Chain A
């Protein structure tokens, strides 16, 4: 299975490619007032308005550094039989690797504050945590109007 590697600060994370629609360069975003810090803004993705999450802000509470390698990963997530596109900003989105399906080992624990952090993949000697897209919208309160999910522990992570 193809998977995308990227950095959040100095830490590498991995995301499975089957739900990635496109990798876009960093674009100018329309910021939203009263939004949590991890919400980077909206952008016009081929005519559709797509919300963009800053993963560095979400995971590490620091904004992504704006570099050429900082890119927007456009992912699809499905909820209630409808499909939405979400943009994720991450740093050093430069490499995709092939991993066998069984390389994604369970981490054994799941944090309530960060339920999107899933299994672990070994890459040589390094352990890389996998980001689970399905869990990501659970802790984002900026969702399509039909499903205003609330996130517990969201305020705690930001402070």
Chain B
């Protein structure tokens, strides 16, 4: 009797429930003792977990499933909510929230390991120096000075951990500039763009194609062609 009582829970745990290892030894268990966790960090990266998830789809079809889908597939495809939106990268320079087309974004890098070298005999506020990005020397520019953005005051200053270097592509090469924060890449519908008020006299407004509201703030969508044209002129 005793061996049976012992083997019973073991048998039920072993073959069928190997699929539930994430609850026994994985991240959803108390001890997290699975040796594979060292390599994969989280169960969702583990092949066992992925395959078990796929196996959920090996169920029989529900009764009405086929007819229901036949009706859906017969009708016109519903237009995606993302249809005709543009992909923009949102970032902040001091207190100004700005956006550029994602297509021209090359990469975002941590400014810490980068060393910027100033150029001798160049007294240019916009061209701040040259910088080594992955073994290539790129021009480092200041958006703050190009756009005439004032130094932010108050709580938005001093958030050094969010500072990044943005690298953008142009036909003539790459441009690197520091930003105070990268908000992320979002899809925005062009219909939400508003015109820049004509009374705005700031230099920044000339680069602004439109303004849109995002997360309760106004973001300026910059004209990248004009921006790169101005950058090129400013370094000549």
Q: How far is the CA of A66 from the CA of B59 in the complex (A)?
A: 8
Q: Interface 1/0s, chain A 52-79, versus B by CB < 8 A?
A: 0000000000000011111000000000
Residues of A3-50 whose CB lies within 8 A of B: 24-29, 43-47
Q: How far is the CA of A47 from the CA of B73 in the complex (A)?
A: 9
Q: Which of A27, A92, A95 contacts B69 (CB 8 A)?
A: A27
Q: Interface 1/0s, chain B 61-80, versus A by CB < 8 A?
A: 10001110110011111000
Q: Interface 1/0s, chain A 85-115, versus B by CB < 8 A?
A: 0000000101100000000000000000000
Q: Which of A24, A25, A29, A46 contacts B76 (CB 8 A)?
A: A46
**Residues A68 and B76 in contact in the complex (CB < 8 Å), given A27-B69, A27-B70, A43-B70:** no
Chain A CB within 8 A of B160 CB: no
Whether A46 pairs with B54 at a CB distance below 8 angstroms is no
Q: How far is the CA of A94 from the CA of B73 in the complex (A)?
A: 19
**Residues A92 and B57 in contact in the complex (CB < 8 Å), given A25-B65, A44-B74, A46-B73:** yes
**Residues A44 and B60 in contact in the complex (CB < 8 Å), given A26-B66, A92-B54:** no
* Chain B contact patch, size range: 10 to 19
Whether B74 pairs with A46 at a CB distance below 8 angstroms is yes
Q: How far is the CA of A109 from the CA of B226 in the complex (A)?
A: 58
Most buried by B among A43, A67, A68, A70: A68
Most buried by B among A27, A67, A95: A27
With both beta carbons as reference points, the residue of chain A lying nearest to B75 in the complex is identified as A46
Whether A47 pairs with B60 at a CB distance below 8 angstroms is no
Whether A67 pairs with B57 at a CB distance below 8 angstroms is yes
What is the size, in residues, of chain A's interface with B at 8 Å between Cβ atoms?
19
Chain A residues positioned under 8 Å from B69 (CB to CB)? 24-28
Chain B residues positioned under 8 Å from A94 (CB to CB)? 54, 57
Whether B70 pairs with A68 at a CB distance below 8 angstroms is no
Q: Which of B57, B66, B73, B76 contacts A69 (CB 8 A)?
A: B57
Chain B residues positioned under 8 Å from A27 (CB to CB)? 66-67, 69-70, 73
Chain A CB within 8 A of B58 CB: yes
Q: How far is the CB of B51 from chain A (nearest CB, A)?
A: 10
Q: Which of B61, B65, B77 contacts A46 (CB 8 A)?
A: B77
Most buried by B among A28, A44, A66, A92: A28
With both beta carbons as reference points, the residue of chain B lying nearest to A24 in the complex is identified as B73
**Residues A44 and B70 in contact in the complex (CB < 8 Å), given A69-B54, A92-B54:** yes
Whether B74 pairs with A92 at a CB distance below 8 angstroms is no
Q: How far is the CB of B107 from chain A (nearest CB, A)?
A: 21
Q: How far is the CA of A13 from the CA of B58 in the complex (A)?
A: 18
Whether B61 pairs with A66 at a CB distance below 8 angstroms is yes
Chain A residues positioned under 8 Å from B57 (CB to CB)? 67-69, 92, 94
Q: How far is the CB of A69 from chain B (nearest CB, A)?
A: 4
With both beta carbons as reference points, the residue of chain A lying nearest to B64 in the complex is identified as A28
Chain A residues positioned under 8 Å from B76 (CB to CB)? 46-47
Residues of B35-73 whose CB lies within 8 A of A: 54, 56-61, 65-67, 69-70, 73
Q: How far is the CB of A155 from chain B (nearest CB, A)?
A: 30
Chain A residues positioned under 8 Å from B54 (CB to CB)? 69, 92, 94-95
With both beta carbons as reference points, the residue of chain B lying nearest to A45 in the complex is identified as B73
Chain B residues positioned under 8 Å from A25 (CB to CB)? 65, 69, 73
Given contacts A47-B76, A67-B60, 12 further A-B contacts (CB under 8 A): A25-B65, A26-B65, A27-B70, A28-B69, A43-B74, A45-B74, A46-B75, A66-B60, A67-B58, A68-B57, A92-B57, A92-B58
What residues of chain A have their CB less than 8 Å away from a CB belonging to chain B? 24-29, 43-47, 66-70, 92, 94-95
7 tightest A-B contacts by CB?
A69-B57, A44-B74, A27-B70, A28-B66, A28-B70, A68-B57, A25-B69
